Structures are given as structure tokens and as C-alpha cells.
């Protein structure tokens, strides 16, 4: 089997290159000396067998006793089935776009305000007026704020788990971080609303008292159900994703690099700065983008913690703030036909943004084939 690529050799790489298997059955395997190239098995994986057995003229097909015909049918059937299942993924993504557009267009035509700039959401009135200006602003503001809070802490935890903690402790605590990722978002929302609201409100009042001269901490109150609360809850929710992906890349730093740095007399931090961080940078960027995608799409936790005010304001501690996703959850209950269409239109915008962010993130991660762990 000299020319057949060894499956186990590529097993751990996780790269998109699929290992080349054996398309033929036993009889066809007589031709194994022929180098197996993708072109060789191009059309449907059965071409080679067709040549070897169907005609029989080439003399390669030796397994005359095998039940070739029936196997051929089942093989084709099974292969088509798996291929259809694979194509289903693409179909779903395209279908999402098509159906969202189909339902959004009537509402967008009925809209009497500019969809992209108008700062309000009144799609249920006789003259529907709605725009995602304030919603998109709130979405971006909460997500960026959440990432600013979460990324440094997540990198700290990832470094701690991969390079500082004893191995056993690191494994156990990493397990704990993964469990944090499994907690449903509605629970974080409930926690943020019923418990975390108190400390954040006190903190907001304190910030307003001593740093009120900075515009983002200004205002007259009331404080609490604010962008700050939403962003903090969001930060806690994206923390596990960024942590577990970063920990994976940090752990994969070649030991040779680390030991070389240490051998040159570097301290532990210098070793991390010169060997671990540069190696992990693409992975960290990809993880951050994935966290961003998650934060942009987060619905329930924000619907429960934000003040739900559709206006553009940079003040992060006063009651207020709204996001595209949270608005969908909150406004869906009393939406009429146009209202639903309007929400679907805003969902379409969200879908496009997250799709772009995710494709970028995945493209960055794919450049590093060493990734084996999936994100979620």
C-alpha cells in the first residue's frame, strides 16, 4: 500500500484537506500500485471501479466472485446520501439568507423612515417607522466593550492554565471554564438582572460621583440597567470561548521554542513574550473574532439586562441601551405583520454582520492548521 496516504499520519492535523481513502472494493484494490490522485477518482469515486470491473477488458479486476453489482448500487446510494447531507449545510445557510430577505422586503417597502439611519422602532403603527441606527450602535458598543473587558482577562487565564498552573490543577480548572461556557445565556441574564444589577448600580453611582466629568460616566441617572451591566454580563459569557481557544494555541507552542528562550536566560515572562505570544497571535485574533461573533448575536442576556432605550448615546452607566438581537426578543411579542417583517430585516443585518465576522475569524484560524479543538 505504498502510495496510499496513511490516514493516521494526518489524523491530528484537523486541516481541511481530507485524507484520501480507498474508494474501491477488494477487487479493485488490485490496481493499488497506480498512484492515487484526486483526478483518478474524480467524478464520483466509482469511475475506477467501472473501468476495472464493468468492462473487464483491462484485466485488472480480479475479484470475480465478489457481489459487485449490488455493492455498486449501495455504495452509490450511500455516497449520494452523505453528499446530500453535506450539501445541506450550504443549503441551510443560503436558505437563511433567502427566507430572511423574502420576509424583510415587504416591511422595508412599507417603512417610511430610513432603515439605516432612523433611531427608533415603531413598525406597528399605520405609518411604520423603524431604523436600526440606534440598535446597530448599541450592538457594536456592547460587544466592543465586552471584548475590551474580556480579552485581557481571558488571555491571563489562558496563560495561567497553559503555563503557570500545575498540570492537574490546570486540567481541572480548564474543565471548570468549559462548564462556564455551557451555562445557558438566560441564566446569565437572570443573574445579571436579579443579582449583578446591585453591585453594578453602586459602582455606576460611584463612577458618576468621581468621574462624572468624563462624558461616558456622566448623566443624572437612574443608573444600573445600562450598557455597562450588559457589557459586563456579555464579557463573562464570551470569556470561556476566548479562554479555551487561546489556551489551546498557547499549549501548542513548540517546546523547542520555549526551551530555547529559557536556555538563553529568559525569565518566564520573557519566554512567554518572545515564544508563546507571537506563536499564538493568529489563534488569539481568531478566538477574539469568534467571541465578537458570539457577543454580536447574544440575545436573551442583553434583553434582560439592558434598559431598552432606542437612542444613540455614549453614556455607558445610565439606564438605556438596546441591541439588534435584544430588540427582536423584546419587540416580538407585540409585533404585527409589518413588525415581524421589520424584526426579520434587522435579523438579516445581524446575520450578515456575524457571517462576515465569522468568515474572517475562520479564515484566520484556518491559516493555522494546528487547530484541532472546535470552538463551541
Partner 1 sequence: MTTTTTAPPSTAPGQSPQLRTRRLPVVASLGIAVAAVVLSAAVVYGAGIGGTALVVALAVVFYLVGLFLASNAVEGRRQARNRTWSALIHSAFVLALLPLASVTWTLVSKGIERLDGNFFGTSMNNIGARDPNGGAYHAIIGTLEQVGVATLITVPLGIACAIYIVEYGRGRFAFTIRFFVDVMTGIPSIVAGLFVLAFWILIVSPYFNDGRPGYSGFAASLALSVLMLPTIVRSTEEMLRLVPAPLREGAYALGIPKWKTILRIVLPTALPGIVTGVMLAVARAAGETAPVLLVAGGGAAINFNPFENNQSSLALYVYQQAGDASRYAPARAWAAALTLVALVLILTIAAKLLARRNRFSR
Residues 125-154 touching partner 1, rule: CB under 8 A, are: 152-154
What values do phi and psi take at 219, rounded to 5? 100, 170
Task: Give a three-class secondary structure readout of 102-146.
Answer: HHHHHHHHHCCCCCCCCCCEECCCCCCEECCHHHHHHHHHHHHHH
Binding mask 317-356 for partner 1 (x = CB under 8 A): --------x--xx--x-------x--xx--x--xx--xx-
Site for partner 1 in 183-202 (CB under 8 A): 183-191, 193-196, 199
CB of 133 to partner 1, least distance (A): 19
**Candidate residues 34, 87, 172, 214; the one interacting with partner 1 per rule CB under 8 A:** 87
HSE-CB for 153 with a 13 A CA cutoff:
14
Residue labelled with grid coordinates 498512484? 35
- CA proximity to 207, closest of 232, 238, 189, 188: 232
**Candidate residues 2, 35, 64, 265; the one interacting with partner 1 per rule CB under 8 A:** 265
DSSP summary character for residue 5:
P
Among residues 39 and 126, whose Cβ is nearest to partner 1? 39
CB of 367 to partner 1, least distance (A): 12
Q: Do 308 and 326 meet the contact criterion of CB atoms below 8 Å apart? A: yes
Site for partner 1 in 3-32 (CB under 8 A): 6-8, 10-12, 14, 16-27, 29
Among residues 236 and 284, whose Cβ is nearest to partner 1? 236
Secondary structure element (H or E) that encloses residue 289, with its range: helix 277-297
Q: What is the largest CA-CA distance in the chain?
A: 92
Q: How far apart, in whole angstroms, are the C-alpha atoms of residue 83 and residue 61? A: 27
Binding mask 210-229 for partner 1 (x = CB under 8 A): x-------------------
**Candidate residues 148, 172, 176, 312; the one interacting with partner 1 per rule CB under 8 A:** 176
CB of 221 to partner 1, least distance (A): 18
Amino acid at each position: 500500500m505504498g502510495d496510499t496516504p496513511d490516514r493516521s499520519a494526518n489524523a491530528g492535523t484537523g486541516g481541511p484537506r481530507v485524507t484520501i481513502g480507498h474508494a474501491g472494493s477488494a477487487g479493485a484494490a488490485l490496481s493499488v500500485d497506480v498512484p492515487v490522485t484526486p483526478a483518478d477518482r474524480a467524478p464520483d469515486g466509482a469511475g475506477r471501479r467501472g473501468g476495472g470491473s464493468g468492462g473487464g477488458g483491462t484485466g485488472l479486476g480480479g475479484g470475480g466472485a465478489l457481489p459487485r453489482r449490488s455493492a455498486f448500487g449501495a455504495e452509490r446510494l450511500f455516497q449520494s446520501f452523505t453528499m446530500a447531507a453535506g450539501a445541506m449545510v450550504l443549503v441551510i445557510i443560503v436558505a437563511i439568507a433567502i427566507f430572511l430577505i423574502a420576509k424583510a422586503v415587504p416591511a422595508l417597502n412599507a417603512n417610511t423612515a430610513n432603515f439605516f439611519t432612523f433611531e427608533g422602532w415603531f413598525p406597528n403603527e399605520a405609518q411604520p417607522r423603524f431604523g436600526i441606527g440606534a440598535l446597530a450602535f448599541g450592538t457594536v458598543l456592547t460587544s466592543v466593550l465586552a471584548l475590551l473587558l474580556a480579552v485581557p482577562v481571558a488571555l491571563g487565564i489562558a496563560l495561567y492554565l497553559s503555563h503557570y498552573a500545575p498540570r492537574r490543577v490546570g486540567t481541572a480548572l480548564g474543565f471548570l471554564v468549559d462548564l462556564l461556557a455551557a451555562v445557558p445565556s438566560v441564566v446569565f441574564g437572570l443573574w445579571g438582572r436579579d443579582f449583578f444589577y446591585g453591585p453594578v448600580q453602586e459602582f455606576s453611582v460611584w463612577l458618576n460621583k468621581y468621574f462624572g466629568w468624563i462624558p461616558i460616566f456622566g448623566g443624572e441617572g437612574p443608573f444600573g440597567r445600562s450598557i455597562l451591566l450588559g457589557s459586563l454580563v456579555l464579557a463573562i459569557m464570551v470569556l470561556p470561548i476566548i479562554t479555551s481557544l487561546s489556551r489551546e494555541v498557547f499549549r501548542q507552542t513548540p517546546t523547542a521554542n520555549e526551551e530555547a528562550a529559557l536556555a538563553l536566560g529568559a525569565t518566564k515572562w520573557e519566554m512567554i513574550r518572545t515564544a508563546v505570544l507571537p506563536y499564538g497571535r493568529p489563534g488569539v485574533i481568531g478566538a477574539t473574532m469568534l467571541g465578537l461573533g458570539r457577543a454580536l448575536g447574544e440575545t436573551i442576556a442583553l434583553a434582560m439586562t439592558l434598559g431598552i432605550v432606542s437612542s444613540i448615546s455614549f453614556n455607558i452607566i445610565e439606564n438605556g441601551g438596546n441591541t439588534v438581537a435584544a430588540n427582536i426578543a423584546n419587540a416580538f411579542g407585540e409585533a404585527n405583520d409589518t413588525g415581524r417583517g421589520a424584526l426579520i430585516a434587522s435579523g438579516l443585518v445581524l446575520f450578515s454582520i456575524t457571517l462576515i465576522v465569522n468568515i474572517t475569524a475562520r479564515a484566520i484560524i484556518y491559516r493555522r492548521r494546528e487547530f484541532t479543538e472546535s470552538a463551541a
